Amino acid sequence: MAMAALPISEAASVALSPALERAASRLASIVGPRAILSRPSELVTYSADGLPFYRKRPALAVFPETREQLIAVVRALAEERVPFVPRGAGTGLSGGALAENDAVVIGLNRLRRIISIDPENRRAVVEPGAVNAGLTRAASEYGLHYAPDPSSQTACTIGGNVAENAGGPHCLKYGVTLNHVIALTVILPDGELVSLGSTEGERDGYDLLGAFVGSEGCFGVAVDVTVRLVKNPESVRTLLADYTAIVDAARAVSAIIASGVVPAAMEMMDGPTIRAVEASIYAAGYPVDADAVLLVELDGLAAGLEEDVALVERLCREAGARSVRVARDEAERARLWQGRKKAFGAMGRISPDLVVQDAVVPRTRLPDVLAEIHRIAQETGVLVCNVFHAGDGNLHPNIAYDARNPEATARVHHAMRAIMNACIAAGGTITGEHGVGLDKLDYMPLVFTDDTLDAMCRLRDVFDPERRANPGKVVPVRSCREWRMAPNTRRGELPA
Amino acid sequence: MTAAVGPTCALPDTPLAAAVPGIMTCVHCGFCLQACPTYLALGDENDSPRGRILLMRSLVEGTLGIDDPDVHTHIDQCLGCRGCETACPSGVPYGHLLEATRATIALARPLPLVARLILRTFERPHLLAAMLAGARLLRATRLPRLLGRLPGRLGFAMAMLAATEGRVPHRPYTRRGTGARGATAVLRGCVMRGLYAETNRATERTLRANDYEVVDVAGQQCCGALHAHAGDLEGARRLARVNIAAFERSALSFIAVNAAGCGAMMKEYGHLLASDPLWAERAAAVSAKVRDATELLADAGPARGASLPLAITYDAPCHLLHAQRLVRPPLAVLGAIPDLEIVPLTDTDQCCGAAGIYNLLEPEVSGLVLTPKLANISATGAELVATGNPGCQMQIGAGMLRTRTGRGTVHPIDLLDASYSRAERSPT
């Protein structure tokens, strides 16, 4: 794992380079002096995202409020050849929205309008800073919702979701962000405005929209996003199964998938997570003495749903559930979900600092991998809280610790690396939905060959040959062969 | 975070040093962002709970100085509405962190003159009474209604005064319960006594009608909430001790408070004086008796009144909803009024921008926060807005007057009282 940036004080306030000086004055004239931050004390906040283990202070932060301002900002930065990092709500969990001190943060949180909702075609067009849950709230009057529901949905932005190809509990049935973005207007790092995808149905040719979604801010900035809206299900049932052994819960997951039922969501929380949530204002009534709970949601047409509920309940019990309860009403259902979705934020009750991982393993390997995580936790003496999308095999081990203790910190990082290695050894991969960002750069060579990483670099060159958009993220720079040979080459100067 | 707080805090022996455990509870998840009115209004994370906590952490770490003007700006711009606390999964005690930060900043930089003048006035009962009497005289001329349309701070202040005019008729009635629910003192309050005296009477009448025995307690002063929120914790403690001594003299079951901000403060007297060995226990004992007046009424039912066919909307005061975590009691009070239609208000959990004396100190941001509130109120079509805190009543009332929206604000208890009064006059 890469080491964190220095504490702010040591990254003393550096004088801006001439290019940045020029950029700063041009940006100020575009957005107005109150929408640009340049003093170190005001940039502290923009030195971390949702994974504050990493801190890197940007040179400037700029907040366009209109589409025209955003386009002008990117064009000015292109002309001055200044690198930039787009940032939504800063809830990302891979350090992806952090900028080095020669780069400019483009804060998209003021571009938050829902431009239009088209209930007939079940579509919405939003600005990149529109908040995920706000879109669902706006769509609800038409009986529609936006399906990808990351746990941070009350805060995170659609633009950020596009960058990370965000998932969420309900992606088990409904698919991830990629499956819900129809079209994008993108400003490329060189200032060119392009349309990706189409509202008129599939177009021939390569799927450039698909390449952009999940590109972690390295391919440009979305100016507007056209998304699919999904009809609210006629009927929803949410079950909570309670286990005294987490491996039993993991077996239930495989049994449910094998039965052919496709739950809308299937989530697991282990004992330490349950207890953190139950101590919070989001207490959901989870059994605090359980080793794990499984939260299973079934939805669809009312006809046949009760049969599925009965089947899932039986499978949960057969795997060893102590009890299975079905939410009686919408209020109880909402409470069960709030507890799950706020679990990450509740970890602060345990210790002041937190690292969270995001790995995917084959579902059938969940029991072994969970047992291995438990063993690693015991061996390294750290507290691992597991809260994850069990139906997708998408694990989120959280380790709460106190960074003021360097010895404990070292053990935490050792444990994290061991957990990631165990996931990879089980046939898994290093991110399900949080992205690579900064945090997982070092893991990339473990799952991809040099040739694959090189191919990724070449794909990036199509969108951003100067590599000014979110530099230093996703693909380790040393993996890009030509980059390795000539680290400061610019477009047109690449070695043959 | 790796930028670790060393074994020593950069600001030892300050209120902020004591707040370090609370600061460390934040894991930077960002779930508070959309709950923060100033973040929504200004679009800068420095003006969000998470950003402000990072500024506090930087002060503690010594990476930012206590004299840093940017820190002052963003801490000053916090409303202290505590909307973030009811969004925070980790339970960060943000209100306490803010007060500790402001108190620590106050060691380096005196409070603004306007703030000092207001706070000192609230500490001097005779001076305050004289000022409020003057305000009542001015209100009686009806001039503030006109002057309230003027632009700027003065115009807004006049509109706030005009907003305190009664919106529902208060006619005394004799209905009384058994008194069996216990001896209850009503906090007189400062603005409540000076400008909303009828609401205080209504509180006493409705409590009596619901089986509370209302007793008068002499020697009360300002509760100290304005002082604590501004970072004048010593001023708040001085006032708290006066009030604790006053309320201790009577054998009380409850202290009823009809101003949400004052109730939130008095419920925290125990915390405020926790490190004062002479007062800690006494403070906690008094805090334990404090209830919002609507809590007491809701516990008693409340008894139903006569029909009041009005369309109103309800806005939750932040210090009731977020600080005291009370959702149901004010709605139970309104629910006891037959034929009262309560039109739901969008974003009722968002602050109106009053925040004690914030609207006088930070008029620009306060106005930005008030704007969406007024739009949401306008969308309900309701003529009256019920809200149980004088600051919110004045802020929203002033905004309504200046934008010619509806008739103004009332306290939920005003409506219950009017309903009881009607019941006695025309039994149904």
Q: Contact A292/A269 with Cβ under 8 angstroms?
A: yes
Closest chain B CA to residue A280: B89
pLDDT for B5 equals 44
Out of B1, B33, B71, whose CB is closest to A41? B71
User: What pLDDT band is residue A52 in, cutting at 50, 70 and 90?
Assistant: confident
The token duo for A257 is: 């998938």
Query: Crossing angle of helices B280-289/B233-248, nearest 10°?
Result: 70
The pTM of this model reads 0.93
DSSP state of B47: G
DSSP state of A13: -
Same domain, yes or no: A318 and A270: yes
CATH number at residue A73: 3.30.43.10
Residue A126 maps to a domain: yes
Out of B2, B7, B71, whose CB is closest to A4? B2
Closest CA to B30 of B88, B77, B82, B69: B88
Number of Cβ within a 10 Å radius of residue B137: 9
Q: Do A404 and B55 touch (CB under 8 A)?
A: no
Q: Do A155 and B1 touch (CB under 8 A)?
A: no
User: What pLDDT band is residue B300 in, cutting at 50, 70 and 90?
Assistant: very high
Closest CA to B262 of B199, B335, B178, B336: B199
User: What pLDDT band is residue A352 in, cutting at 50, 70 and 90?
Assistant: confident
Same domain, yes or no: A274 and A224: no
d(CA A205, CA A223): 22
User: What pLDDT band is residue A165 in, cutting at 50, 70 and 90?
Assistant: very high
Asked whether the CA dihedral A450, A451, A456, A460 is positive or negative, the reply is positive
Out of A134, A277, A353, whose CB is closest to B1? A353
Q: Please state which of the ranges A171-185, B163-177, B260-274, B402-416 shows the lowest mean pLDDT.
A: B163-177
Interface of B with A (CB under 8 A): 1-7, 24-34, 43-46, 48, 50-51, 54-55, 58, 61-64, 68, 70-71, 74, 86-92
**CB proximity under 8 Å: A 145-174 to B:** 152, 154-156
Residue A5 maps to a domain: no
Out of B45, B68, B89, whose CB is closest to A46? B45
Q: Do B43 and A55 touch (CB under 8 A)?
A: no
The arithmetic mean of pLDDT across residues A457-465, rounded, is 94
Q: Do A345 and B89 touch (CB under 8 A)?
A: yes
The residue count for chain A:
496
The arithmetic mean of pLDDT across residues B122-133, rounded, is 96
pLDDT for A483 equals 47
Out of B2, B4, B31, whose CB is closest to A345? B31
d(CA A421, CA A428): 9
Same domain, yes or no: A308 and A261: yes
CATH number at residue A323: 3.30.70.2190
| Final residue of a structural domain among A178, A199, A231 | A231
- Total domain count, chain A: 3
d(CA A458, CA A67): 29
Q: How far does B68 lie from chain A, in Å, by closest CA?
A: 8
Q: Which of B52, B59, B61, B90 to mutate to test the interface with A (most CBs of A within 10 A)?
A: B90
Same domain, yes or no: A170 and A206: yes
Interval B311-327: pLDDT, tens = 999 999 999 999 999 99
> B406: phi > 0 → left, psi -120 to 50 → alpha, else beta; which?
left
DSSP state of B322: I
Number of Cβ within a 10 Å radius of residue B193: 17
Same domain, yes or no: A167 and A264: no
The arithmetic mean of pLDDT across residues B196-213, rounded, is 97
Q: Do B31 and A342 touch (CB under 8 A)?
A: yes
The arithmetic mean of pLDDT across residues B72-86, rounded, is 97
Partners of residue A52 in chain B, C-beta under 8 Å: 1, 27-28
| Final residue of a structural domain among A311, A327, A350 | A350
Out of B28, B31, B86, whose CB is closest to A154? B31
CB pairs under 8 A between A and B: 144
ipTM: 0.92
Burial A19-29 (b: 16+ CB within 10 A, else e): ebeebbebbbe
| A116 Cβ neighbours under 8 A, 6+ residues apart | A124, A125
Same domain, yes or no: A255 and A323: yes
Q: Which domain holds residue A94?
A: 18-107
Is the pLDDT confidence value at A358 over 60? yes
Is the pLDDT confidence value at A374 over 50? yes
Residue A464 maps to a domain: no
The answer to whether A2 contacts chain B (CB < 8 Å) is: no
Interval A401-445: pLDDT, tens = 998 899 999 999 999 999 999 999 999 999 999 999 999 999 999
Phi, psi at residue B66, to the nearest 5°? -65, -15
Coil, strand or helix at A98: coil
pLDDT for A492 equals 37
Question: Residue with structure tokens 């029909």?
Answer: B307
Interval B99-110: pLDDT, tens = 999 999 999 999
Q: How far does A275 lie from chain B, in Å, by closest CA?
A: 12
| Final residue of a structural domain among A185, A211, A231 | A231
**CB proximity under 8 Å: A 302-361 to B:** 342-349, 352-354
Closest chain A CA to residue B88: A345
Q: Do A345 and B86 touch (CB under 8 A)?
A: no
Domains and CATH numbers, chain B: 15-108 (1.10.1060.10), 304-423 (3.40.50)
Q: Do B26 and A50 touch (CB under 8 A)?
A: no
Same domain, yes or no: A292 and A334: yes
Residue A90 maps to a domain: yes
Sheet with strand A84-87: strands edge to edge: A36-37, A60-62, A104-107, A84-87
Side-chain-facing half-sphere of A90: CA atoms under 13 Å: 31
User: What pLDDT band is residue A259 in, cutting at 50, 70 and 90?
Assistant: very high
Phi, psi at residue A300, to the nearest 5°? 140, -150
Is the pLDDT confidence value at A204 over 50? yes
CATH number at residue A169: 3.30.465.10
Can you name the residues that pair with A157 across neighbouring β-strands? A131
Output the average pLDDT for chain A. 91
d(CA A442, CA A439): 8
Partners of residue A7 in chain B, C-beta under 8 Å: 2-4, 61, 63
Interval B368-420: pLDDT, tens = 999 999 999 999 999 999 999 999 999 999 999 999 999 999 999 999 999 99
> What is the residue type of B346?
T
d(CA A89, CA B58): 21
Same domain, yes or no: A206 and A238: no
User: What pLDDT band is residue A201 in, cutting at 50, 70 and 90?
Assistant: confident
